[in-house]
Amino acid sequence: MGKEKDLLKRLSEPTTRREAFAEVVHTYSRPLYMQIRRLVTWHEDADDVLQNTFLKAWSAIGNFRGDSQLSTWLYRIAMNESLTFLQKRQAQEAVAEPAETAAWTLEGDPYFDGDKAEQLLQEAIGTLPEKQRIVFCMKYFDEMKYEEMSAVLETSVGALKASYHIAVKKIEAYFQASD
């Protein structure tokens, strides 16, 4: 029996569910955190979104039938939670420029050790609309295939390609403008 299959079996049993879910949290907390952190920038926000992701996963685990991989399913929840968070934050920070906010945060953030170029890239990513930001991070940093991204984001491959292309153009323009 494969490791994931065994884990899914234990997740489906009420008596072993909690113990198995602790294993899920242990296995996926790091990769999910890094995905979320790239999108929301700040550690405190990434922490909140990640906890919400696991709580949502726990509350819906009874419905998970293994149609997709567990990692894909968790990834999808994390992206939805991040998107919801970014939309709320954008509404709250409608007055401030996103790049200004990101730069200010990264300069004073003790949990960011990037150089000037990496900081500039994060600023550029911060200027993208939420969905483009997610697509860009999944493709550029995680090197995910469009088909995998399509499964996670439930969006067509064509739409994802177009979104990534536009995001890249915007980031390039941001770098050119900052030279």
What is the contact surface with other proteins in residues (CB under 8 A)? 14, 17-18, 21-22, 25-26, 29-30, 33-34, 37-38, 43, 47, 50-51, 54-56, 58-63, 111-115, 117-119, 121-122, 140-141, 168, 171-172
- Rounded least distance, CB 95 to other proteins, Å: 26
User: Which residue number, 55 or 91, has a Cβ lying nearer to other proteins?
Assistant: 55
Q: Are 118 and 171 in contact (CB under 8 A)?
A: no
Closest contact distance (angstroms) between CB of 37 and other proteins is: 5
Supply the minimum distance, in Å, between the C-beta of residue 22 and other proteins: 6
- Lookup: tokens for 66: 């293994």
Work out how close the CB of 94 gets to other proteins at its nearest, in angstroms, rounded to a whole number.
Answer: 26
Look up residue 17 and give its two tokens: 């569910």
Nearer to other proteins, 51 or 72 (CB): 51
- Look at the block and give the residue holding tokens 């997610």: 134
Cβ nearer to other proteins, comparing 27 with 155: 27
Backbone angles phi, psi at 16, to 5 degrees: -110, 0
Cβ distance to other proteins smaller for residue 95 or 98: 98
Residue entry with tokens 């997740």:
11
Question: How open is the CA angle 32-129-145, to the nearest 5 degrees?
Answer: 50
Measured from the CB atom, is 95 or 143 closer to other proteins?
143
| Shortest distance in whole angstroms from residue 114 CB to other proteins | 3
The whole-angstrom separation of Cα 85 and Cα 80 is 9
Angle formed by the axes of helices 130-140 and 17-40, nearest 10°: 110
Residue 111 DSSP code = T
